[in-house]
Amino acid sequence: MITELPGLAVQPNFKQYSGYLKASGTKKLHYWFVESQRNPKSDPLILWMNGGPGCSSVLGLLTEHGPFRIMDDGKTVYYNNASWNLLANMIYLEAPAGVGFSYSDDRNYTINDDQVAKDNYLALKDFFSKYPEYSSHDFYVTGESYGGVYVPTLSALVVDDTDINFQGMVIGNGLSNYELNDNSLIYFGYYHGLYGAKTWHGLIKSCCNGNYSGQCMFTKGSSSECRNYVTEVSQLIYNSGLNEYNLYGECAGGVPSGGLTFNQQLQKVVSHNFGWLFSSVEHVKKEFEANKILAKLNKLQLDPPCINATNVADYLNTEQTRQVLHIPSVVQKWSTCSEDVSAHYISTYQDMSAEYMKVLAAKKRVLVYNGDVDMACNFLGDEWFVERLNLNVVAGRMEWYYMAADDTKQVAGFVKQFENLDLVTVRGAGHMVPTDKPLAALQMLNNYLNIKSFQ
């Protein structure tokens, strides 16, 4: 149990726990569990996982929808009034081993999608053995970004376990299909004014035989002209200084110089490339392979683009905080993302359709949501992915609402409802929806958990 959180003036009236769950071999996955502020004995239980691969779910707790926030001084803690534990008991799991405070005794962090799912499942089973009183609660698997892989692959295992009261899964700005994510981003870029008609018409002509209809798979184009146009667009996304996670947001620290940069203080090369966006484009693939070599030599620092979480790292890496969270002294310092995990990660799957269909076939409920100004996992790619599942449509696309901070009713975004699946956009939000639009995100979760209409 966490008895007193450093830097928090008034301790919470809900219980919270931090410790380790057993996975395979010598892997130990760190979790931070916060009970519901409402009714922990009956409220749902939600597992949350950030993506990467290699990024910490504690970042989700402290910057997105957990009950606490860290001031810029890296010391002072205050409350988040739109925390998801207003509605549910929340487990934040740092996975795979090597991420955040999670570790393995053998320090072997080579892993793939299937093994991550199995380890997360074993950790979940260990959680229920530690907290058996939660085994009967409605349980949901949730996550964002590369959680678009973590969540469905874990859910496909959990749905077969009758000892877990699994009710559904929630994927936010998820990587559901590499090809659709890449190619939809090219459409997104043009229709958001990132490049002009000359480039757009060049793409259509050289990659799609001049055909505007349907969904052009630009990255499949075989001509050198097509590849050059796709490279031009990918370079614009990566190296022009745009915030990949929020098109209309500023880039923390200012516009980076692009590509690989050297940090004199760290004596490491810094990269923002996680290796899956535009992975079909040759120069991006080569850059990521170079990053892997540097990471294996411990010469690379992996940072999400335009994100500054120094305050969170400073807070978590104090000796006092580590002791309160029950982190052994042998465990590495906490970082936003682990270059070691990312460098050794093997992506097994390029598409999550089979996992979605398995969950849906069991009549479990799915929520797919996207901040509509995210470019890392854009809303259009996830819309294409969902539409390809060919589910029965229950209600056509319509606006949905939330109550803003000034108690006025506002448009939160748009929703299309399928049989057991809600496809939702959150207006003006980027990759981290609860950070950008906390009240809308909380309303969305409430609608989903309580099977409320989004109208």
- Is residue 43 annotated as a catalytic residue, yes or no? no
Dihedral angle at the C-alpha atoms of 69, 74, 90, 111, nearest 10 degrees? 140
Considering 18, 56, 83, 145, which one is annotated as catalytic?
145
Determine if the peptide bond prior to 152 is cis (ω within 30°): no
- Is residue 431 annotated as a catalytic residue, yes or no? yes
Considering 18, 102, 431, 436, which one is annotated as catalytic?
431
- Is residue 145 annotated as a catalytic residue, yes or no? yes
Considering 340, 374, 382, 422, which one is annotated as catalytic?
374
Catalytically active residues are: 145, 374, 431
